[in-house]
Chain A
Amino acid sequence: MKLLNAHLSPSIVISSIIVATTGLLGMSTILDRKTGVDEMVLLAKEDKDSAASVAAFEKVYPVLMHPRCMNCHPKGDVPLQGDDSHIHSMLPQRGPEGKGVLTMKCVTCHAPTGVEGARTPPGNPEWHMPPADMKMVFEGKTARELALQLVDFEKNGHKDMKALRDHAGDDLVKAGWEMGGDRELPPLSYEAFKQAWYAWIDNGAYAPSK
């Protein structure tokens, strides 16, 4: 398995560097903007286990690409909907804050707790998409692309590694397993997902080669 990190990737030119350091985990995220190479490298400590990290991410990836997660991380500015990830009925738009616009806000239909039912919109007090200036697209991304994006401070909502790690406990992430109705659940249980997510980050947050 080809792994990507600073030691193995001399081709990365470190210039115009944007660095996000995480004191806790001692890692840096480096992105080469100048060359336009859409690559990012983790500077992991020697004691990190790249193989374990990548293995964990391969469990995480199908969860993130599952409709329960991906539907709010679309390529475009309209969320997706349903187990077949069709364009969200009624075409609500992302809006600057990811909360919709005007009369088509997320809260128009997604109440704080909502009403239980086979077809009712899931409720959540924080229901939103990623904001317009940081769209955090999942749709169409390979595992490698997604991993690189997730750890990119400039793309992930300015989350350092600790914040990124903690994000697995976010209520809206958890909501992916609590939407009710006959919606298909992600391939891992929420607990198993969290463990895989932590294992991925704790072992260095390596990106798979593909």
Chain B
Amino acid sequence: MATVQTHLNRRSFLKLSGAGGAGLLIHFSWLAALAKENPQLEKAYELNGFITIDTDGAVTIASPNPEIGQNVKTSMPMLVAEELDVNWEQVKVVQAPLNTDIFQRQIAGGSRSIYQSWDALRMAGATARYMLVQAAAAAWRVPASEIDVNEGVISHKASGRSSGFGGMAAAASKIEIPKEVEVKKIEDFKIIRHSKRNVDGLDIVTGKAVFGLDIYTDDMVFASIVHPPAFGMKLLSYDAAEALSMKGVQEVFTIETYPENFERGYFDTNAFPELIVVTGDSTWTVMKAKEKIKAKWEPFDTHSIKMKGTGAGNASDQKVPAGRDTTEDQYAAMFQKDKEKGREVRKDGDPEKAFANAAKVIERSYTGPYLAHSPLEPLNFYANVTNDRAVLIGPTQTPEYMEQSVAQRLGMSLQQVDIQMTRMGGGFGRKLFGHYLVEAAVISQQIKKPVKLMYTREDDMTFGCYRPTYLATFRAALDQDNNLTAFHVKAGGIPESPLFANRFPAGAVENYLAESWTIDSNITTGAFRAPRSNFMGAVEQAFLDEVAELAGKDPIDFRLGLFNKAINNPVGKKNDYDAKRYAGVLELVREKAQWGRSKNGVSRGVAAYYCHDSYVANVVDLRMENGKPVIEKVYCATDCGIVVNPIAAANMVEGGSVDGIGHALYSMLTVKDGAPQQQNFNDYHLIRNNDAPRDVETFFVDSDVHPTGLGEPPFAPAIGALANALYKATGKRYYHQPFMVDVAGKYLPKEQPAG
């Protein structure tokens, strides 16, 4: 067989149709990046943007999205491999490069990777399979319809002929791409719905997996930053004499990450646009040197920054208020705001009247603190900026957006900027906000050398982009027969409101009112695993538990009653959940946890929540020991549509549940005069092994519908179930997160009774 050179410049388009994929457009070409990871691939045949097949039959599949621990690097290629009918054990997976021409939405966020690529990735696999079959049909002069493909072998039963993929790869690459391809029926799946272990597993357990922090080149210098110690402050002056006298230190200078006239995109959140930078010959050199820089800081005035907006011509100014916030004052301001009328977002029926006529009314307030995402790999990035090119390598959840920011900041075209994705040592939303890679680029441009920018843990924790701090007040009305007749939620936060006005129990109550408010601050915040849901889901479910108790009903029966109402006679039209699926996970967890059975010394709580298009219900079993909960077991029932990779899905739900529970019990970032009071894990507490649930058991609804989110949905309901179990164990309701901190005693306004 003749060897054909790769089609590096091939520009093929695949128009997708059917299976809900109408209008999807994929553009193929990624071999250049493959060649970088695996030089052996130079002679491989590029069938389309996701697959290459070598002449010896080796199949390489590129995973387009950033890998942050959600395991898309395994599950996305599984979708391709399924339709290709290749033996999974023979597949090599590589990280695709950022290429917005080829791939859609290369983002790790919003639990959307599988959801959004479900059709496109299967189409890619099916297209390649089609091309291989056509090539075989032509070679063997038999009808394509008589050809089978199984585990990487193409065969024709009648003639007894067969070939591996390698034998047909060259011919297949010349087959015209079909306008339509068939994809498999769900019952025919051999890879999807079957557990496949992490493709990087062996690399991870042997220390070979490459994270952003692991990018080293021989010519790079190391850089560290010094930023204002408090929000609301900026640099006045600095003295770097001592730092510069240290051996190995090269330069100390300032950078403007986002100059005043820079139009920022959504992911350019940054509280400290001017920084001091120190460069040197090793990480330890710059870490020590940054401590020796004597900087003076001053409060800034209220000013505005320019925001790009979502389309051409809708740029706007965003106000950055002056001031230096303190946690106690923030809580006081939130409780003050809570007393005022909020912005009405949704109203059904006549809530005022229903509350006036109620037999019982219950009102409770809940708070959640700032949370620092704290991915264990701190922010870092490698940048090599030359006159006509910028190469950046490291951990980012939003390479596509940061490519724009870097190009804009350096005055380059998008083509001149090359952002390469590494595995990320966690992100949880923090690495959506890529100021740190713009900083690396600006530093490299300034010193004209490749640079690796490293944040210390303290830098990472005190640089902002926190989960906002929230307050929600709920009010419920019951009639004489203990039916829920009215529901009122008023929620707000600094600087955003967590409210989802159209989520449950909206649609299940005749009289409903949702209000929202916000308070400005210069403390920057950003999406944190299950944004807004991470708070609202937890507290709404804790409140409903109390309402059920007031109504004298079992908490599951009470919720199922409301879902029945939403199924049979929904109120309003904009309810953004499927009540049947919601009820389904509750029924599943009820069965699996044997709800209603009593266990000696164990208290149980239940909750269910919907977000990112998926439904999760939890039962938490715990007992108290020395004032702390020992969580014996967490049951999680999930409906995320088709479960692509069961072992990884279970891992994600286990971790998500424990993550929610951990933050609700222990984590809190406070500020004093604008300065974060926790700077490292010695006082910013994350859940540890000994405090983690002893066991988490996961159950998935057997489903044939389009797969939905999995990384974020398990977080919130676990907190609700935890709070409700804690009440059963202690007789005390927990209103203020984190539960193991005396938030009411230490931070809340004194006149504010707990709850």
Contacts and interface: CB of A to CB of B under 8 A. Distances in A.
A119 B688 contact: no
A101 to B, nearest CB: 13
B680 A119 contact: yes
B682 interface: yes
A127 B491 CA distance: 51
A91 B689 CA distance: 11
Contacts of B681: 89
Contacts of A89: 681-682
Interface in A54-102: 82, 89-91
A90 B679 contact: no
Instruction: Tell me the interface secondary structure of chain B in the complex.
Output: loop
A150 B690 CA distance: 35
A90 B680 contact: no
8 contacts: A82-B682, A89-B681, A89-B682, A90-B688, A91-B690, A119-B679, A119-B680, A119-B682
A119 to B, nearest CB: 5
Interface in B37-93: none
A91 B688 CA distance: 10
A82 B690 CA distance: 21
Contacts of B679: 119
B483 to A, nearest CB: 48
Nearest to B682: A119
A75 B346 CA distance: 57
Contacts, number: 8
Contacts of A91: 690
Which A-B residue pairs are the 6 nearest by beta carbons? A119-B682, A119-B680, A91-B690, A89-B682, A90-B688, A119-B679
A119 B680 CA distance: 8
Given A89-B681, A91-B690, A119-B682, 5 more contacts: A82-B682, A89-B682, A90-B688, A119-B679, A119-B680
B748 to A, nearest CB: 21
Interface string B645-687: 0000000000000000000000000000000000111100000
Contacts of B682: 82, 89, 119
Interface residues of A, number: 5
A119 B690 CA distance: 23
Interface string B683-704: 0000010100000000000000
Contacts of A119: 679-680, 682
B752 to A, nearest CB: 25
Interface in B718-742: none
A89 B682 CA distance: 7
Interface centre among B680, B682, B690 (most CB of A within 10 A): B682
A82 B680 CA distance: 14
Nearest to A90: B688
A119 B291 CA distance: 13
B746 to A, nearest CB: 13
Interface in A167-199: none
Interface in B332-353: none
A91 B681 CA distance: 14
A82 B682 CA distance: 10
B108 to A, nearest CB: 30
A196 B648 CA distance: 63
Contacts of B690: 91
A35 to B, nearest CB: 33
Nearest to A87: B626
A168 B688 CA distance: 37
Nearest to B691: A91
A106 B688 CA distance: 19
B456 to A, nearest CB: 10
Nearest to B681: A89
Nearest to B690: A91
A90 B688 CA distance: 8
A135 B70 CA distance: 47
Contacts of A90: 688
A90 B687 CA distance: 10
A90 B691 CA distance: 10
A91 to B, nearest CB: 6
Interface in B388-431: none
A120 B679 CA distance: 12
A88 B688 CA distance: 13
Nearest to B685: A89
B29 to A, nearest CB: 49
Interface in A116-145: 119
A78 to B, nearest CB: 11
Nearest to A91: B690
Contacts of B680: 119
A8 B565 CA distance: 84
Nearest to B457: A119
Nearest to A117: B291
A196 B682 CA distance: 34
A179 to B, nearest CB: 14
A119 B461 CA distance: 14
Contacts of B688: 90
Nearest to A86: B683
A91 B626 CA distance: 14
A91 B690 CA distance: 9
Nearest to B287: A117
A119 B681 CA distance: 10
A50 B535 CA distance: 63
A193 B688 CA distance: 38
B293 to A, nearest CB: 15
Nearest to A121: B682
B676 to A, nearest CB: 14
A115 B637 CA distance: 47
A82 B683 CA distance: 10
B301 to A, nearest CB: 31
A90 B685 CA distance: 11
A7 B413 CA distance: 94
